[in-house]
């Protein structure tokens, strides 16, 4: 159920069952956000350089944008000693089974500094009736929706691996979520999570930066997405253009300044909503990192 090469895949997108789209948003309050260590290339040079007042304002602007779009936004309080907890895409992978049962895979965080974040989200989802599934440490690392993205409307999971997530973890995740995984090897440390170089926009469209992937990965993407919008290298690397989020198939929320990407998105029929996330870019994250979607 895990595929890394197009030649090995024996199904087409239309062969896969439909899956309801997640419409609820979870965010984590940013009062403890700061750059206190370096665990990705974007953090270098930014230790102690964050402005918490600005970070709070940027977080609130994103939350307000979701609410203006009519989305239900829940929050988990940030915890002291967990400065990256605000990036709540990383600690879990929620899923819904064909019979309607809901579950959540709990992450094995790659960096020791972030392992303490996971129990906060386990409690949140268990409180909603989700079955929580920790992964055996022998399977290696896994960083939730930072690396695992649902194909909109289909029972298909895209899984990034190579920096923060182990390929071995996906066999177990595939079994838990009852979905095949198309696994994409990440080859550039600036794009250490899949959500930094691939954004699902709707059932047929994704935004991506091809330079983050191997040739096998690009072949899988081109085969399973009827339409791919390509972000240029500077937009993707410097402005985190592919860490965008399209919660409704129409509005694309992303950090300001990606003029080429924005023009391509508008040409493809999307409404671009620029959300300032400059404080969070110092820690290697932007819009998509700052939320998790669930059912």
Q: Which of 222, 96, 118, 216 is nearest to 167 (CA)?
A: 216
Q: Are 200 and 226 in contact (CB under 8 A)?
A: no
Residue of 193, 197, 246, 255 marked active site: 193
Residue carrying the six token digits 């996330």: 277
How many angstroms separate the Cα of 207 from the Cα of each of 240, 251, 270, 277?
A: 12, 13, 11, 19
Strands 24-28 and 292-294: antiparallel
88 catalytic residue (yes or no): no
The dihedral over CA atoms of 140, 11, 218, 181, expressed in degrees to the nearest 10, equals: -20
DSSP SS3 for 264: helix
Q: Are 91 and 106 in contact (CB under 8 A)?
A: yes
Sequence-distant (≥ 6) Cβ neighbours of residue 50 within 8 angstroms = 33, 34, 35, 279, 282, 283
Distance CA 102, CA 252 (A): 27
289 catalytic residue (yes or no): yes
Distance CA 121, CA 28 (A): 10
Q: Are 171 and 1 in contact (CB under 8 A)?
A: yes
Distance CA 4, CA 9 (A): 9
Sequence-distant (≥ 6) Cβ neighbours of residue 186 within 8 angstroms = 160, 161, 162, 163, 192, 193, 194, 197, 212, 213
Distance CA 194, CA 147 (A): 5
Query: Which positions are catalytic?
Result: 193, 289
């Amino acid at each position: 159920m895990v595929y890394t090469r197009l030649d090995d895949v024996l199904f087409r997108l239309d062969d896969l069952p439909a899956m309801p789209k997640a419409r609820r948003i979870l965010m984590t309050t940013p009062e403890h956000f700061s750059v206190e260590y370096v665990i990705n290339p974007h953090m270098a040079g930014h230790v102690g350089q964050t402005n918490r007042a600005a970070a709070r304002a940027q977080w609130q602007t994103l939350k307000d944008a979701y609410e203006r779009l009519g989305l239900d936004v829940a929050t988990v309080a940030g915890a002291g000693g967990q400065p990256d907890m605000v990036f709540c895409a990383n600690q879990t992978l929620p899923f819904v089974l064909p019979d309607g049962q809901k579950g959540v895979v709990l992450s094995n965080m790659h960096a020791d500094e972030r392992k303490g974040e996971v129990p906060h989200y386990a409690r949140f989802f268990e409180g909603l009736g989700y079955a929580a599934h920790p992964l055996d440490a022998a399977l290696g690392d896994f960083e939730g929706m930072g690396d695992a993205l649902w194909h909109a409307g289909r029972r298909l999971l895209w899984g990034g691996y190579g920096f923060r997530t182990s390929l071995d973890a996906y066999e177990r995740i595939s079994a838990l979520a009852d979905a095949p995984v198309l696994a994409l090897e990440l080859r550039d440390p600036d794009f250490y999570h899949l959500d930094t170089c691939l954004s699902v926009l709707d059932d047929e469209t994704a935004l991506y930066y091809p330079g983050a992937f191997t040739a096998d990965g690009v072949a899988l993407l081109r085969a399973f997405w009827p339409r791919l919008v390509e972000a240029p290298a500077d937009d993707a690397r410097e402005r985190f253009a592919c860490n965008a989020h399209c919660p409704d198939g129409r509005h694309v929320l992303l950090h300001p300044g990606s003029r080429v990407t924005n023009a391509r998105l508008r040409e493809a029929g999307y409404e671009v909503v620029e959300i300032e996330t400059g404080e969070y870019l110092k820690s290697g994250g932007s819009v998509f990192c700052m939320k998790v979607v669930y059912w």
